[in-house]
A and B are shown apart, each in its own frame.
Chain A
Amino acid sequence: MDIILKRYKTERKELIHILHEVQKEYGYIPVESVSAISKYLRISESEIFGILTFYKAFTLEPRGKHHITICMGTACHIRGAPKILEEVQRQLGIDAGETTPDRMFSLETVNCLGCCAIGPVAVIDGNYYSNITTKKINSIIKEYKKIE
């Protein structure tokens, strides 16, 4: 934690950058880090908490090793995104916003990724998968499971 903080100036505007780096490093924002950032940047803990709960990029609970995002925007929605979501939920045995008990996968929905032309879209660990179907997503997840 200290190593991360040392890289930044003790100014208010660095908060989001620090949070991003903590999220990247730990996969989530541990509560202890909120206190540490609060002391370093001299911002109250509640303010930091307010900011980190506002942005979806930050999570307070650990995410899985592989993070799956399924677009539920209007375009993806009418092209069958809900069906795909259901399939993934069944496959992993978790609801959107949850993480599998073995911490391998976490699932999340977003309301638009901005690439409606190639919908329905799923993003796994930053890789975009376009025009997916239930079949396709099944094999992709299986692929990921196999790697482990």
Chain B
Amino acid sequence: MNLLAAERIKLFSTRSPWWCTAVAIALVVGGMALLAASAPADIGPIPTWVTSQFLQFGMVVVMVMATVSVTTEYRFSTIRTTFQAVPNRTAALLAKTAVVGIVATIAGLVSAFGGWAMMALLRPDPALALTTDAQWRAIAGAGPAFLVAAVLAVAVGILVRQTAGAVALLLVWTLLVENLIRVIPDVGPLIYQWLPFTNIMNFLAGGSADVEEEVGVMALTPWASLAYVAALAGGLLVVAIVTANRRDA
């Protein structure tokens, strides 16, 4: 508990985590508001899973916050003070992951429900009701989706240690590489099914006919996708913590 409290003080005693979280939420909520306000009336009901398109931008910002919370510790050598105060590096890094993960989960839930509320407000529409499992998943699923994304980002931060490198890697991977792999002839679509962010999106929006038309039928069901990415994130975190234990701080 003390380690969690210490990491909480660390995270919130600088301004950038506040800004990142606020920007993430604003992106999703603002984006949804814009969509709801500008979509022509004759387009018909807007499906709930549309939120996932905006959630991914918010998620990228939250991932930047998560990875930077680690890399700044290396940048300013406060990681040394951390390991000096807590020689059990595994405990120290797990505490940090937990705190960042909780913040990411909250950011995910607030932005998804905020975006949905904005939509419901501007386009009162029975299609927006949270009735089916898929609709709930598209909104409440943002919590676990942001959590696994943040854990992945923390692990990358521990491994890369440099802000520019870690942020560039995450941005290029999420916004570019996964989409490029998809267009590789023959093998692309096969590999694509197993990429982490594709699976996070499949968890949020998968199972609907519209999405399948766009990305093709995924190998995993939405919930299996979440379990798969969670395992990936956990695995990468284990690798990162083992590495941090072996390295000189």
Q: Do A and B bind each other?
A: no
What is the interface of chain A, defined by CB distance below 8 A to chain B?
Answer: none
What is the interface of chain B, defined by CB distance below 8 A to chain A?
Answer: none
